[in-house]
Amino acid sequence: MDRFPKDVIQSLALLFVGVTVLWYFIVALRTRRSLGRATPDAFLRYRSDDPTGVPPLTGRLLQASLMGSAFSLASSVYVYLNWAATDGAFVLWSPITWAMGAVILYLLRHQIFRESRNTWTLHGFLQQKYDSVLLKRLASIITSLVFLLQVVAEVYVGLSVLRVFVGPDVPLWLLCAVAGAVFIGYSVIGGLPAIMITDHIKYRLITFGLILAAIMLFDQGGASAVQLIQESLSTTFFPTSSPSWILLLSLIALNFPLLITDMSVWQRVGAAESEREVTRGLGSFAALLLPWLAMIVFVGIGFGGFLTPPEGYTTAQSILSFFSDSLVFVFLLAALFAALLTTADNYLIASVQTILVDWVWAERLERVSYQPEDLPRDQQRSMLRTAEIGLIVLGFGSVVLGYLFLAALPNLLDLLFVIFGIQAALAPSVLYGLLGKARPSDARAGIASLVAGGVTGLLCLFLALGGLELLGVSYGLWSPVFVLAISSITFLVLRKAGTEQVSAVTV
């Protein structure tokens, strides 16, 4: 693939990123004009009967939206490139277990589609199943915390990518200000419908950039790159030590419940045109997830074999620098920046939504059966203003945390395992609710499992920040195992005790 002067590529990259951002804001402004005539929940969620006139999601758009989130969720492109360069084909276990989680989502699609149509949030579903407002609010706290940490992770990656683009002379705080202004402003203007509309563009940009990167890898490395990948598959794919077996167990605990406990997934499934479109979208998502994510791993293995990152640089940053005189750089940079925009915004809005719907406006929304269009107009405007203020405050906080974590956690993997480890605390309550086994008497078990799992996840985060390990594995990487095990055991033990107590009272 042809090389060009770096200043030409830099100018093209800046132009393409600018066009991408401009198009995103045009979509946001168009959506904003529609929102001016709509109820506030049209800003906070993508509804199948949205009064803005936004069409329901087809199976194709549902699949593209989920794939786009998968590429940037946990900043998977950045993480997999770095991780594969050091651990080789073992990293394939992450997309393998993630794809198995997508299969679980597909198997539960009927229940999730039905339940997501009946409630505004995942936590509202838990309240209905367990008849507990406290359970709903605790679940919303966990979701808000997880989503905010996901925004932090996206800011972390966005800053890392931008540092390669602008060079070391630009202060990091200035990059924080630029990135924050762009994605917070986009969130405040367009709301969730704008993000859902632009999600498929992000997906196509990332896939095109990955294809170009893979072509250039084989163009530069040829048979050597293929040989590196083959050797890695034969020597590093299977766990060979206690730490790698622990990490595989943690990946299973992380990825199996990941999608069914993600409120943003519930939102998208509930916004689908029909159950048939849900089946089509989730089916193609489950089929495509592993091949695309495996491609990222293979590119990381191939480049990691002959690229040595300079001091202070990660492998992913070195790969991006390697393309700095190629057209690949233009598309990769635009794709990664688009991922920062839509993914950070998606989870930022979702966290604000849970706080507003489950806490601040809960009583007023309950009085109108969660139909905001039945609220007085002044209250609707007030709710929309509150949401916008929440986006600004939480968005600014996420940028600050991203800046701090970039300095405190050189390994992003620890942060990501903690994030989704905390979310695993929802798994027992959500799964029992979906399978129809939940009873109002189980609310105590659900509440205790959320508290135990959430506290465990936060404890793992603080231990990881302190650099502590157990059996040679960081506490951050242990987090999903500990959280899922403790929350599940707590739920099952208390549920059994509650069943025995009810039986004794009945007798």
Residue owning tokens 């799964």 = 431
Residue 409 maps to a domain: yes
Q: Which of 18-27, 111-120, 300-309 has the lowest mean pLDDT?
A: 300-309
Q: Using only C-alpha atoms, what is the Rg of the chain?
A: 22
406 found inside a domain: yes
In 3D, which of 195, 189, 192 has the Cα closest to residue 36? Answer: 189
Q: Report the percent of the chain where pLDDT is more than 90.
A: 28
More confident residue, 360 or 431: 431
Whether residue 79 lies inside any domain: the answer is: yes
Summarised one tens digit per residue, pLDDT across range 187-227 is 888 888 887 777 777 777 777 777 777 777 666 656 677 78
Kindly report the CA angle at 295 between 293 and 301, in degrees rounded to 5? 110
Does any domain span residue 21?
yes
Q: Which residue has the tokens 């070391």?
A: 168
CATH number, residue 449: 1.20.1730.10
Domain count, the chain: 1
Find the mean pLDDT for residues 44-72.
74
Looking at residue 6, its amino acid is K
2 has a pLDDT exceeding 70:
no
Distance between CA atoms of residues 260 and 59, nearest Å: 18
Tokens of 182: 């762009």
Q: Compare 87 and 166 and report the one with higher pLDDT.
A: 87
pLDDT of residue 462: 87
**What are the tens digits of pLDDT across the range 390-414?**
999 988 888 887 777 666 655 667 7
Query: Has residue 39 got a pLDDT over 80?
Result: no
Task: Please state the three-class secondary structure of 426-494 as a single string.
Answer: HHHHHHHHHCCCCCHHHHHHHHHHHHHHHHHHHHHHHHHHCCCEECCEEHHHHHHHHHHHHHHHHHHHH
Is residue 395 in some structural domain?
yes
User: 203 or 376: which carries more pLDDT confidence?
Assistant: 376
Helices 133-166 and 76-87 meet at what angle, rounded to 10?
70
**Does 176 score more than 60 pLDDT?**
yes
Query: If you write DSSP's letter for every residue of 15-27 in order, what string do you get?
Result: HHHHHHHHHHHHH
Report how far residue 57's alpha carbon sits from residue 276's, in angstroms, rounded to the nearest whole number: 11
Residues 6+ apart with CB under 8 A from 172: 159, 163, 403, 406
Which range of residues forms the domain containing residue 202? Answer: 6-506
Identify whether 164 is part of a domain. yes
Main-chain dihedrals φ then ψ at residue 72, nearest 5 degrees: -105, -20
pLDDT tens, residue by residue, 246-262: 999 999 999 999 999 99
Using alpha carbons, select from 306, 316, 353, 87 the residue that is nearest to residue 195.
353
How wide is the angle at C-alpha 471 spanned by C-alphas 249 and 95, nearest 5°?
A: 25
Q: Kindly state whether residue 1 falls inside one of the protein's structural domains.
A: no
Token output for 471: 């059996």
**pLDDT at position 42, please?**
75
Separation of alpha carbons 328 and 18, rounded Å: 17
CB–CB of 259/101 below 8 Å? yes
Phi, then psi, of 495 in degrees rounded to 5? -65, -40
Separation between Cα atoms, residue 301 and residue 81, nearest integer Å: 8
For the chain, give the longest Cα–Cα distance: 84
pLDDT at residue number 220:
64
Strands 473-474 and 469-470, how do they pair?
A: antiparallel
Summarize the confidence of residues 500-505 as an average pLDDT: 58
The average pLDDT across 454-476 equals 88
Domain assignment present for 66: yes
Q: What angle do CA 308, 311, 312 make, to 5 degrees?
A: 115
